[in-house]
Homo-oligomer: A and B are copies of this chain.
């Protein structure tokens, strides 16, 4: 071992941080970055003699995981490895890759997931306390695969790795748009590839109840349009997740978000009762009736059944966004409040939660819920799931409550990876004591599904969630944005082998949009736009429902334009550093965009679904033209006249208006060029 790259572990001092930025060598694409990496001498060359042994523990789960990794290695390299399957604890003296684990990991909070991976030119060794740790290490090994003209190899390296947070989750909403079994499975594979370990399954909401329920069958019979998971499928997915060291935490949101419950069982209603499956989005009124004994009998039977179906120690009860309108409207509920001395809806909600908590406890589950459940008087083993912000988590932690963060990880809001990446469950400037910090277990990315379908959900989750996964696993000090993007791109492409569609459905959707015309020009345009952000899509003249088409350009467009990011970088390099190569490169890009509209228009004319972006496409050509002219002024060191400036400003203004609910991501950088030309 020659060079030590030590990356500061949480709570530990760096022991020789030779490499101050905590950035790995450029040719070592690991993500999440491990806690500690030491670079060795030489390489372990991969050839058909390669074979694997799982020793120490008789873990069939790990043997199967290792077999899948061997197949992925074979798939990437084309090497015909002679080993057909890896059997647990099989004696294999010739194996050049030895995995050694001590015990079977449990799928619980704070389980050991550390591992140590040692690669020398002679052999590969992976050691871990638990098979879960070994799984994490196997994914690291796959990321270490490199190639040169002589073939494939792993660089000599020693990695000591341990996660920063124990709760590294992804929530998928399958209520608003149903996600078939295979969507869940491939996303579980994606999670495992970046060492995430909690799948939070948002199974019920106003628009659909997605689980076969034997105690209350109308829940899925009436409120799912036939789109639900059978209990056999639920078990299949839980088993699939467990094979990958992933916990499955189900969420049944109560008392609000309850239209689906109440449509199926109107006797649960506080006031409003839907007469059909809800297909509109929004924060809606139907709420379970907290004043009726039936409600608790219902939930008791329901949670008894679900507690048996879902093995995780936690059950998520949602608890968010109760409008209170239905409670205010119902005189019986008002009377109940008076009788029980509950002075407002918050106190009534607390009363409800306490009864639900009793039910969960009775059935052996701990409770997790959104911020709203955090009310005085709840037991200390609940977990607060914060959609509001880390400061609320810090507050709860100081009071001795565990919490996880989702604020800042709402990937449905179409924000850039770097925004999520820099968002930290325990920010660098946190004032929490080390003891209090331990109450913050981690976080979850949340894929809410108003605007995504099985076709687009992968592209809304990945690649941005890779950055979030790194935030949850890697040392806090790993925060270099450019390096993150560089590595995220590579890992994103590797994840295609897991059947994720985040890359390949882009072209597919563009092909459909053009009705099988050449997509070249549409892609040039689509590459520089992004869907409008936050909740803006709902407020631009389109009324979305569960059955709207989610096949337009805004749905095909990626949440983050890497082309626009590159262009913005080039503009900064040019303007800040007078970088002439950057100038050449950015001019090349502007020329492509300038010429694109004329080529795209015939395609649009044959495909009415694209009509909505015709104007913005034209504007982008004008904008690119203005950018080219601005560069020309800058290069010639001449100042544009007032009329050019007025026209350029007008174009920039137009370019800032979204169309078809996408926005042009090159506008700010072109505007900088224009302003620089004006300000000479």
Contact = CB atoms under 8 A, between A and B. Distances in A.
A493 interface: yes
A225 interface: yes
A85 interface: yes
A490 B546 CA distance: 29
B493 A75 contact: no
B504 A516 contact: no
A343 interface: no
13 contacts: A71-B547, A71-B549, A76-B515, A78-B552, A81-B547, A147-B608, A151-B608, A232-B233, A455-B499, A489-B516, A493-B511, A501-B504, A503-B511
Contacts of A233: 232
B543 A516 contact: no
Contact of A504 (B75, B85, B505): B505
Interface in A203-237: 225-226, 230, 232-233, 236
Contacts of A542: 80
Interface string A493-516: 110110101011101100110011
A279 B67 CA distance: 15
A414 to B, nearest CB: 19
A84 B545 contact: yes
A152 interface: yes
Contacts of A508: 496, 503-504
A85 B232 contact: no
A548 interface: yes
Interface residues on A, range: 35 or more
A549 B77 CA distance: 8
Given A80-B542, A504-B508, A516-B490, A75 B551 contact: yes
Contacts of A150: 608
B512 A496 contact: yes
Interface in A461-484: none
B84 A547 contact: yes
A74 interface: yes
B511 A608 contact: no
Given A77-B608, A84-B547, A512 B490 contact: no
A600 to B, nearest CB: 15
A548 B455 CA distance: 30
A180 interface: yes
A653 interface: no
B149 A76 contact: no
A75 B147 contact: no
Contacts of A71: 547, 549
Contacts of A496: 508, 511-512
Nearest to A550: B75
A380 interface: no
Given A76-B551, A549-B79, A493 B516 contact: yes
Interface string A587-618: 00000000000000000011111001000000
A542 B80 CA distance: 9
